[in-house]
Copies of this chain bind each other. A is one copy, B any other.
Amino acid sequence: MAETMRAVAVGVDHTVSVERTARPAPGAGEVLIRVAYAGINRADLIQRRGFYPPPPGASPIMGLEVSGIVEALGAGVTRWRVGDQVCALLSGGGYAEYVAAPEGSVLPVPAGLTLKQAGAIAEATFTVFANVFETGALKPGETLLVHGGASGIGTTAIQMARAYGAKVIATAGDDAKCKLVTDLGARAINYKTEDFEAIVKAEGGADVILDMVGGPYVQKNINIARPFGRIVNIAHMEGAKTEVNFMPVMLKRLVITGSTLRARPIAEKARLAHEVETRIWPWIAAGKVKPVIDSVFPLEDVDSAHTRMAASKHAGKILLQL
């Protein structure tokens, strides 16, 4: 008899509710995690509306990251023991009491962090490492421009880049968010009242730009990138379709690129996990990179949590507590 668990279900009208469903069993090489906290990401909101279907083989339940306790081990798992405190990057299934994850996507809770804090770090650290450090190839002394600087990814990008010795400029949408990103070590720009293009230009431009806005930001990013600059889009909240003048791309030898994390193969995520644990976990343990948590909602209040993110009222991560 399969045991059951509570999990968030999405109705045909895109409403959400907590229902009982079968508890997953860990397959070979997988770890079953009893979830303590699940992080909320914008991709979840898109999946809920039906536009971001889970990749083949992934859980149909929303949720791309959790923290929790190892409950059971699938065949061949060597690193983990039942009872270990872990966090994990998921291809889905986090909005539930239990989730099965490939052992290579599971990391220990960093030294000194609570399970609550650990629920806020997987997606952001993996995303920033993959896009700013690997694809963007940020170097110490260079300037990183982060759009959405007060978001979970933004606050993480600022701290990781600062820990690495880069200068950081970050855009944010109100004074409180600007104060937050300033406190984290970035030069803040209120994009609603200031012209980020003019300010970044006056600051000497940006070597790496991490952007989730797209739309009108694409040309501005190109205009303010320094020679050999790398522009990495991880989303296009204002649209992926826009008119662009590519002349500066050629003249300044820029790189325009982007990526998603969820669709990457399990082996690639394991490689990233190893890099993140080796390079970023020590910064977290040393207090150089701190999870910024906006708010915690009980699983039953998932709709309120989504509403808060959709309205961009949050600064840092929104978590669900199981």
Interface residues of A (CB under 8 A from B): 135, 214, 218, 233-236, 240-247, 249-251, 253-260, 263
Copies of this protein chain in the complex: 2
Contact partners of A254 in chain B: CB under 8 A:
257-258
With the chains together, A40 CA to B240 CA distance in Å? 39
- Please give me the residue from chain B that is nearest to A263 by CB atom: B251
Inter-chain contact B236/A240, CB cutoff 8 Å: no
Contact partners of A135 in chain B: CB under 8 A:
253
With contacts A243-B244, A251-B260 known, what are 19 further pairs, Cβ within 8 A? A135-B253, A214-B246, A218-B246, A236-B246, A236-B250, A240-B245, A240-B247, A241-B246, A241-B247, A246-B258, A249-B257, A250-B259, A250-B260, A251-B263, A253-B258, A253-B259, A254-B257, A255-B255, A256-B256
Contact partners of A259 in chain B: CB under 8 A:
250, 253
Contact partners of A247 in chain B: CB under 8 A:
236, 240-241
- Please give me the residue from chain B that is nearest to A254 by CB atom: B257
Contact partners of A258 in chain B: CB under 8 A:
246, 249-250, 253-254
Contact partners of A218 in chain B: CB under 8 A:
246
With the chains together, A188 CA to B229 CA distance in Å? 34
Out of B234, B244, B260, which one reaches A242, CB within 8 Å?
B244
Out of B234, B236, B256, B260, which one reaches A257, CB within 8 Å?
B256
With the chains together, A234 CA to B241 CA distance in Å? 23
11 residue pairs bridging A and B, Cβ less than 8 Å apart:
A235-B250, A240-B246, A242-B243, A243-B243, A249-B256, A249-B258, A250-B260, A251-B260, A253-B258, A254-B258, A255-B255
A283 to chain B, nearest CB (A): 26
Contact partners of A257 in chain B: CB under 8 A:
249, 253-256
With the chains together, A254 CA to B241 CA distance in Å? 16
Contact partners of A235 in chain B: CB under 8 A:
250
- Please give me the residue from chain B that is nearest to A232 by CB atom: B250
Contact partners of A260 in chain B: CB under 8 A:
250-251
Contact partners of A255 in chain B: CB under 8 A:
255-257
A260 to chain B, nearest CB (A): 6
A271 to chain B, nearest CB (A): 15
- Please give me the residue from chain B that is nearest to A219 by CB atom: B241
- Please give me the residue from chain B that is nearest to A235 by CB atom: B250
- Please give me the residue from chain B that is nearest to A259 by CB atom: B253
Contact partners of A244 in chain B: CB under 8 A:
241-244
Contact partners of A243 in chain B: CB under 8 A:
241-244
